[in-house]
Structure formats: C-alpha cells, structure tokens
C-alpha cells in the first residue's frame, strides 16, 4: 500500500524526515488524504500530553500521482529494535511495558478525539 523512505529536507537545513509514499491509485490517495487529516487533528491538541505519542505529520505533497506524507523520523522501527536489543531472546518485559504504555496513551488520545485505530 505504501513504502517509507528516509530523506533529507534540503529546504529546511538538511533535516532528516521519513516520507511515506502511497501507491498511485485513487482509493489509496483518498485514504492517505484522510490519514493526513486525522493526524493533523490529533497533533493540533498540544495541550494534551498524550498527543506526544502520535507521530508528527510535517507536510504532504504529490509526486507523479503518489501522495507523499512527510513525517518526523523515528529512531528505530520494531524490526530494528528486536535485532539490536532482543536478538534470539526477545526484548525485555520492561521494554514491552514501556511500549505498551505509550501505545495505550496514544489510543486514549485518539479516543478523546473520537477516532478508532483499525490495525
């Protein structure tokens, strides 16, 4: 449905960003536009400390019919975390608790704004 690439924004001092490139078809384009709108709503509520658990959408643009969503980059994805910290044994229960807490706080923030995460 999409691919994510790391890039540098030359217009903003070479800052690193993550770009989600959405497949070029009408259905996926509409879904991506809806995702951008939801993220803008969720991140607008800076008074709520739980908004920090929602990834920041920086901007979006169209490239050859592909909707591209520009995000703040994350330090590592789950696959990288498992490889670095849990090779062959899994990650510690302390880390699992921390990740679970962050996910639940993000879901609480979404619920406050009447959104449901469907993954």
Model pLDDT, residue 6: 94
Model pLDDT, residue 7: 95
**Alpha helices per DSSP H over the chain:** 26-44, 78-85, 93-112
Active-site pick, 14, 46, 47, 119 = 119
Taking the C-alpha atoms of residue 22 and residue 3, their distance in angstroms, rounded to an integer, is: 7
Question: Poorest-confidence range of 19-23, 27-31, 53-57, 77-81?
Answer: 77-81
HEC string for 81-104: HHHHHCCCCCCCHHHHHHHHHHHH
Model pLDDT, residue 30: 95
The burial class, CB within 10 Å (0-12 / 13-18 / 19+), for 69 is buried
| 47 is an active site residue | no
């Amino acid at each position: 449905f999409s691919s994510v690439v790391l890039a540098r924004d030359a217009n903003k001092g070479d800052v690193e960003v993550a770009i989600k490139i959405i497949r070029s078809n009408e259905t996926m384009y509409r879904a991506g536009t809806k995702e951008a709108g939801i993220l803008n709503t969720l991140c607008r509520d800076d008074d709520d400390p739980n908004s920090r658990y929602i990834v920041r959408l920086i901007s979006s643009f169209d490239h050859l019919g592909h909707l591209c969503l520009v995000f703040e980059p994350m330090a590592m994805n789950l696959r990288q975390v498992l490889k670095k910290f849990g090779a062959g044994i899994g990650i510690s229960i302390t880390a699992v608790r921390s990740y679970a807490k962050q996910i639940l706080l993000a879901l609480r923030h979404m619920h406050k704004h009447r959104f449901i995460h469907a993954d």
